Amino acid sequence: MRKGILSLTAAAAALALGLTACGGDSGQTTTSTSSASAPAKAGKIGVILPDSKSSARWETADRKYLEEAFKAAGVQYDIQNAQNDKTAFQTIADQMVTNGATVLMIVNLDSGSGKAVIDKAKSQGVAVIDYDRLTLGGGAAYYVSFDNTKVGTLQGEGLVKCLTDKKAEKPIVAYLNGSPTDNNATLFKAGYDGVLKPKFDSGEYVKGPEQSVPDWDNTQAGTLFEQMLTEQPKIAGVLAANDGLGNAAITVLKKNNLNGKVPVTGQDATVQGLQNILAGDQCMTVYKAVKKEADAAAKLAVALAKGEKPTATSSVKDPETGQDVPSELMEPQAIYFDNVKDVVADGYVTKEELCTGDFAEKCTEAGIQ
């Protein structure tokens, strides 16, 4: 309680400082767009995306939806991508603040480097929003994401459904976890362990090889899965934490004529993941309506940039500090062959990009209009 009050006071002080900082700035930034109708007192918003390889989402979905939201609000913004470089991440943050950002929205590359950015920003009166990934021990002003444990639960349930459909008996299940430095990967695993561990414990399923993939590196995931399959050729199901890792496993399974026989999970409803589902090589993916996440985060950022103190609808406890971080958490949705069409209907991917070549027929079969 006491900690909560202290942190609120600190946030308020930071905000006040932020306002002072942006008051004297006339606004020059290279990559931002601003509307003439922007209220004079609104500061700039800087967004740092993590990379463009661990998932297609950051550049194809997050950037687009955030840009749309900022434009609609008529605020100045600058969205950059750290390309998996922690040093660049801090440099970008510094440049954004120098160029007048009073609010930063970050997707950390790990909690340590994320916390360094938050600490420095705070000391300069800049408010920070943890976007998608919670910075452990970081003390961001807000956290906007999905219910990530639920994402993992859907993956675990999805694998069970696909193994059951295949009438698998005592299937050996392999894990390709996300990056060990991403708190989301921890939450996803807690979710799928919650579904699968009781089955391992009862002997219904057998726990196979498990690896966490550094930086969610898809290439490394392929190498790791190749080793796993050599070590245990009878892998009958793969819990892959996102579509990129899933595709890495599918590529290896294809070489061994096992694709379509061994169900693989995913996440992010990427074009590649959805095509793998249409082809029958991937069991399921988890669709996260990034537009909702981007809109919620942009709303908070815009309010902060205007010097307001927005209230969040929920909170998440930082396991390292025990402090509650005001949060907005969206609901994920499981996607199988039959409801791939929901992702298209939602406008997240278009029929044109999904239903190319051989996939056209599969799209018709899956009722994609």
**Site of interaction with ligand BGC (CB under 6 A):** 54-55, 57, 132-133, 178, 182, 184, 216, 242, 267-268
Q: In the bound complex, what is the minimum distance in angstroms from residue 293's beta carbon to ligand BGC?
A: 9
Q: In the bound complex, what is the minimum distance in angstroms from residue 237's beta carbon to ligand BGC?
A: 20
Locate 190 and state its tokens.
């807690």
Closest to ligand BGC by CB, 16 vs 190, is 190
Closest to ligand BGC by CB, 188 vs 205, is 188
Q: How far apart are CA 198 and CA 213, in angstroms?
A: 24
Locate 7 and state its tokens.
């942190």
- Quickly list DSSP for 55-97: -THIIIIIHHHHHHHHHHHT--EEEEE-TT-HHHHHHHHHHHH
HEC readout, 225-242: HHHHHHHCCCEEEEEECC
From residue 88, alpha-carbon distances to 28, 49, 51, 121, 362 in Å are: 21, 11, 11, 15, 42
Q: Assign residue 268 a region (left: φ > 0; alpha: ψ between -120 and 50; beta: otherwise).
A: left
Q: In the bound complex, what is the minimum distance in angstroms from residue 148's beta carbon to ligand BGC?
A: 7
Closest to ligand BGC by CB, 99 vs 110, is 110
Closest to ligand BGC by CB, 157 vs 182, is 182
Closest to ligand BGC by CB, 209 vs 246, is 246
Closest to ligand BGC by CB, 58 vs 205, is 58
Q: How far apart are CA 221 and CA 209, in angstroms?
A: 13
**Nearest-5° angle of CA 275, CA 278, CA 279?**
85
- Residue 327 neighbours by CB distance under 10 Å: 19
Q: Which H/E stretch holds residue 132?
A: none
Q: In the bound complex, what is the minimum distance in angstroms from residue 22's beta carbon to ligand BGC?
A: 30
Closest to ligand BGC by CB, 265 vs 267, is 267
**77 neighbors 46 (Cβ within 8 angstroms):** yes
